A and B are shown apart, each in its own frame.
Chain A
Amino acid sequence: MLDLAVFVKYDWSMEYLKYYKIKLAGYICALTVIFSLVISCGGGGSSDSAKITLEFWQFWTDPDAKATVTSLIEDFQSRNPDTEVNVTDLTWGEGHSKIVVAFSSGNPPDIIELGSDWIPEFSNRGALYDISGFTADIRDKHIMWDPGIFGGKYYAVPWLLDTRVIFYNIDLMNRAGVSFEDATVSWDEFLFACQKVNGLGKDIAGFGANSFEKHRLYKKFLPFLWSAGGEVIDRMGESSLDSPEALSAFEYYLNLVKYGAIDTQSNLDQRFISGKLGFNFSGGWLLKNIHNNNPELNFGVITVPTPDGEMGISFAGGEYLALSSRCAHPEAAARFIKFLADPENTARLCETVGFGFPSTKQLPDDPFYTENRNRMLFHEQLLNSRMPPAHEDWVYIEEVIEKMVERGMYRKGEPAELLKQAETEISKILNR
């Protein structure tokens, strides 16, 4: 079967030795290469001993945004020659995980950019530095401090804010024979428009309803709840979902879903961009995506509808700057975040990323804002927006809300029943 005889007879001993020498040489080479690489990269930064180095982790990493952040940092360094800022870039997808790993291992950066909905979970656990003392002079300059406040102390400075409005497709509305008189509409008006546009054909949908995406769906439902006068947690700190206001909001939301399509945020945005979705409740990023992918799209924006046609309350989100509780140079770090969050500097960043606002009441006097009606309406809505209550167990509460909305959308229960169940579950979380 196998010609083993030849195999065995051959004198392998010389081969054996030769082979080992070559192998050994190979190993040594490989190890040398690896070690030299390790060493060359390990001992890179030789710095002046007098200089303070600040570690800054941030998310603005696409080339345009990164260039702006870099130039802002250079401005700061030229004004503060004794301070050096070292940037680490984070992705929107897994950045949160990296932050969690670093904090949990006692190795956090000095300065960190946090989404507004992440701050409470960090500040309530003592992971952030109390910057009340450093921010007294800019309290009046900025708006929307709330998510950064815990126990009366300040933990984060608002940097770049955004909100959500309803985008509508003008061409589809014309085809359906409906129109909005101005940018504030009533519940009935809006529902009627959704119904009409949804009836245009199989590939056209009216209202774009977010499917179950954890940590996103609640941001779409709460504005309707707030605009109807409902609350998740009342002033006494009790769960208050089982109220007539909440019931009317929930029933209205489910009616909208009936005249629309359920899909993920990214798919809804795309369907809107390609002109196949009538109404999309989305954020400032959509302005930029429309501009990049279908600049010809004939669209407008309205604020969140209310029962009687006032401007409703939307959901605000934003990026905040905070110091970790282990920050070694809090004073220099605070100087840096105050510089970055300065409205003029933030406006520069907003312009390069194509959306967002500095955290001020006054819209910056800049054609980027003043010559774009949609953007100005965004700002009006921003001033009429809220963030979720800064509760340390909010992430559990939002899960209850999202499951409730989802069950309603898939008709797995009566709205009143679902609200009652959700209220009970939230009470349990609040009283833990």
Chain B
Amino acid sequence: MFPLLYSLYLSFFAVDILSGTFKFIGIANYVNLFSDGDFLTALKNTTIFVVGTIPFTTILALIAALAVNARLPGASFFKPALVMPSITSMVVMALIFTHLYSPNGYVGALLNLCGIPVPENGLLLSEKTALTSIMVMDILIAFGYYMLLYLAALQNIPRNLYEAAELDGAGAWEKFRYVTLPHLKPITLFILVINTIRSFQIFVEIFVMTKGGPLNSTLTAVYFVYDVGFVKFDMGYASAAAYILFIIIALFSALQMKYFGGREART
């Protein structure tokens, strides 16, 4: 809690962290942020990123978990394999995806094959495709880990519930709908909240791949905070930006809690 209160405190000052000068300026930082085009762009991009990745990541993770859990041959290979991207260092993944997205990369070739035009300088260097490309990459890297969480939760559903459902004549869909899903509710809430918090703070991929460009199209909130605080030394302004981001994350998480966590599953 200390850092949280400290940054709230700082956000009301004009702080120069190098010289250590503090000047109380009230809510001026907040007022300035809402007229700062870069910050608003960063918030917009971050929200697009979160809203555009989380549903896909979650659904993909659930489908993969159900599929891996279906006792198919080779399941003992699929499970570790799908988690590997989230283990491999982000810098390596970013490098590989940078090349996949380059003008002569495989993704470009695939898109051309489907008749979709690829920007001249590659997908990451066009303001129309850069953010989407990073979002797709994020979904592909992250879903394996969430699949693992779903798998852990699936182990926990008492088998006899399925048997009871079968006795009642339930089909595969009914069993999924009335037995599996309700039991997955707590872990789904966890996955949603964790992924929301993580995605709102997306930084490393941006830092390694695009540095916020082209034309600010991949500028995200945390990248903005980093640049203002550590490069321009204005920690008060950075803290205010971090605090606005914090409030947005908190609102999102509260909404998710309300819709997914209202009634907790009980046997």
Contact = CB atoms under 8 A, between A and B. Distances in A.
Q: Classify A-B as touching or not with yes or no (CB < 8 A).
A: yes
Interface of A: 1, 96-97, 100, 103-104, 106, 121-122, 125-127, 202-203, 211-215, 261-263, 267, 395-396, 406-407, 410, 412
Contacts of A211: 121, 125, 213-214
Interface in B17-32: 17-20
A406 B215 contact: yes
Q: How large is the interface on B (under 10, 10 to 19, 20 to 34, 35 or more residues)?
A: 20 to 34
A126 B19 contact: yes
B98 A261 contact: no
B211 A214 contact: yes
17 contacts: A1-B160, A100-B17, A100-B18, A100-B230, A104-B17, A104-B20, A104-B235, A203-B104, A211-B213, A212-B212, A212-B213, A212-B215, A213-B211, A214-B227, A215-B231, A396-B232, A410-B127
A214 B215 CA distance: 11
B125 A262 contact: yes
Which of B127, B160, B214 lies at the interface centre, i.e. has the most chain A CB atoms within 10 A of its CB?
B214
Contacts of B17: 100, 103-104
A80 B204 CA distance: 44
Contacts of B18: 100, 103-104, 121-122, 125, 127
Contact of A263 (B125, B231, B232): B125
Given A125-B18, A127-B18, A267-B98, A212 B121 contact: no
A286 to B, nearest CB: 19
Which of B103, B125, B235 lies at the interface centre, i.e. has the most chain A CB atoms within 10 A of its CB?
B125
A160 to B, nearest CB: 23
Interface in B91-119: 98, 102-104
Contacts of A406: 213-215
B158 interface: yes
Contact of B214 (A125, A202, A410): A410
Contacts of A215: 231
Nearest to B126: A410
A122 B231 CA distance: 11
B211 A212 contact: yes
Contacts of A396: 232
A215 B232 CA distance: 12
B211 A1 contact: no
A20 to B, nearest CB: 28
Interface in B204-258: 210-215, 227, 230-233, 235
A262 B123 CA distance: 12
Contact of A125 (B19, B211, B231): B19
A90 to B, nearest CB: 14
B128 to A, nearest CB: 10
B88 to A, nearest CB: 19
Contact of A127 (B19, B102, B127): B19
A121 B231 CA distance: 10
Contacts of A127: 18-19
Contacts of B121: 211, 261-263
Contacts of B211: 212-214
Which of B16, B127, B213 lies at the interface centre, i.e. has the most chain A CB atoms within 10 A of its CB?
B213
Interface string B48-71: 000000000000000000000000
A69 B19 CA distance: 30
A213 B213 contact: yes
Contacts of B214: 211-212, 406, 410
Contacts of B235: 104
A263 B125 CA distance: 7
Nearest to A118: B231
Nearest to A97: B230
Given A100-B17, A211-B214, A214-B211, 4 more contacts: A211-B125, A212-B213, A215-B231, A395-B232
